[in-house]
Amino acid sequence: MNAHEITPGVFAIHADIKSAARFEGIWPIPHGVTLNSYIVKGEKTALIDLAKDWSGSIEQYERQLETAGTSFEAIDYLILNHLEPDHTAFIVELRKRNPKAEILSTPKGIALVKNFFKIPEGLREVKTGDSLDLGAGRVLEFFETPNIHWPETMMTYDRAGGTLFSCDAFGSYGTLGDRVFDDEFTAEEHAFYEHESLRYYSNIVSSFSAFVTKALDKLKALEVKTVAPSHGIIWRKNPKTICDRYAKYAGYNTGTAPCEKEICIIWGSMYGYTKAGLEAVIAGIEAEKVPYTIHQVPDTDASFVLADAYKAAGLVIAMPTYEYKMFPPMAHILDLFERKHFTGKKALRIGSWGWVGGAKKEYEERIAAFKWTSVESVEWQGVASEADLALLKERGRELAKLVKE
């Protein structure tokens, strides 16, 4: 696999990570993920972002560096937009192989180089407005974009070519193979990557949506011809597509963009009694012709639940009482909703109980800070009666009507 030239003197190198089960040790990546880095050449050479030695990533990098006419040993500058180890862990070995390369990052980034990786020298702090002149008319500019998604994050901009090196912003799950640019993929493939970018955002970035919005505002002054993230597709034909997509995603939990008029149903059932009640709710939703997705927990990994729930205006939370409290897999989902700031939803909670209730109380305490509009919940003991089922269907219709408004 060769390096891919973005503009004259600017190359993308990437590693396809296919064998790893999870990203960040949490999120499943059945379709893999890419680690993207970039070479920028003037009279001197800069490497923008790095990688960890993960599933053959460094060997993939070295082969592509060679096709770009350089090597780790020839790098003059290492620019670190973000210090999370998937973009930096090889730095210790790189410093051994190339002690002359100067490392540039924000002040908080340099602190992490010193304290996390124990590298004390050959470092330069940069801030918004600072630049690096590589010679031959190639100047890189730096823009601090904190909390996308760590506090030290920045972006690097090549004004000569209009390329924005955005690190985790505008990223996605999914490997790329020998194609890396947006104009090399079919509409069907783009639909896949769109879903994987939503899942990536909901899993990793959604806690920081307010900062995403601030960064997008800051970048409006730039003439961005290519968006070059550290995971996923490089956008050279339609960079506005991924920028608009992230603006929409950021709006889902900050109120700056409406959620989709659909319902995400999340359910768990111990012996089938909650499931039977849920079927009545679904009948009510279907009667109002509102689209929905459905996930059973714990069978469906939380990563996929988050993606559909994040974009949906409506939620159905169906779970039984378990030992006086919420069904534990659902408690985990709600914990993630809190961490990721899933606010402003329209929600219905239902569930059965055995010898005593309790889930309703814990659920209402948990969602109190979410600013959800709640349809009155329905609980029942054991087998749902005909009256229970009729009420559940009506509650489903009520939720669907709220979502349509």
d(CA 272, CA 82): 47
* Mean pLDDT value across residues 101-123: 98
Share of the chain above pLDDT 70, in %: 100
User: Residue ranges per domain, the chain?
Assistant: 4-252, 260-404
Length of the chain measured in residues = 405
What letter does residue 233 receive in the DSSP assignment?
-
CATH C-level class of 4-252: alpha beta
Residue 218, pLDDT > 90, answer no
Q: What is the pLDDT of residues 171-207, one digit of tens each?
A: 999 999 999 999 999 999 999 999 999 999 999 999 9
265: helix, coil or strand?
strand
Q: What is the pLDDT of residues 292-349, one digit of tens each?
A: 999 999 999 999 999 999 999 999 999 999 999 999 999 999 999 999 999 999 999 9
pLDDT, the chain, mean: 97
Confidence of residue 145 (pLDDT cuts 50, 70, 90): very high
HSE-CB at 301 with a 13 A cutoff on CA atoms is: 12
Q: How distant, in Å, are the alpha carbons of 43, 56, 82, 343 from that of 62?
A: 21, 10, 21, 44
Residue 33, pLDDT > 90, answer yes
Q: What integer pLDDT is reported at residue 19 of this predicted model?
A: 82
Q: What integer pLDDT is reported at residue 21 of this predicted model?
A: 86
Confidence of residue 274 (pLDDT cuts 50, 70, 90): very high
d(CA 319, CA 262): 20
Tokens of 333: 């989902």
Tokens of 35: 């680690």
d(CA 80, CA 234): 18
d(CA 159, CA 162): 5
d(CA 89, CA 229): 18
Q: What is the pLDDT of residues 206-216, one digit of tens each?
A: 999 999 999 99
Other CB atoms within a 10 A radius of the CB of residue 42 amount to: 18
Amino acid found at 94: L
Tokens of 276: 């039977």
Q: What integer pLDDT is reported at residue 262 of this predicted model?
A: 98
d(CA 7, CA 253): 36
Q: What integer pLDDT is reported at residue 20 of this predicted model?
A: 81
d(CA 246, CA 96): 38
* Mean pLDDT value across residues 5-29: 95
d(CA 403, CA 290): 8
Q: What integer pLDDT is reported at residue 326 of this predicted model?
A: 96
Confidence of residue 22 (pLDDT cuts 50, 70, 90): very high
Q: What integer pLDDT is reported at residue 378 of this predicted model?
A: 97
By CB atoms closer than 10 A (0-12, 13-18, 19+), residue 257 is middle
* Mean pLDDT value across residues 144-154: 95
* Mean pLDDT value across residues 49-65: 95
Closest of 83, 84, 86 to residue 104, by C-alpha: 83
CATH of 260-404, one of 3.90.79.10, 3.40.50.2300, 1.10.10.10, 3.40.50.360: 3.40.50.360
Q: Is the peptide bond before 149 cis (omega within 30 degrees of 0)?
A: yes
d(CA 106, CA 126): 5
Contact between 210 and 254 (Cβ < 8 Å): yes
Sheet holding 226-229, edge to edge: 131-135, 138-144, 154-158, 163-167, 226-229
Beta strands in 321-405 (DSSP E): 321-322, 325-326, 346-353, 373-381
Contact between 131 and 141 (Cβ < 8 Å): yes
Burial state string for 188-197 with b = 16 or more CB within 10 A and e = fewer than 16: eeeeebebbb
HSE-CB at 321 with a 13 A cutoff on CA atoms is: 19
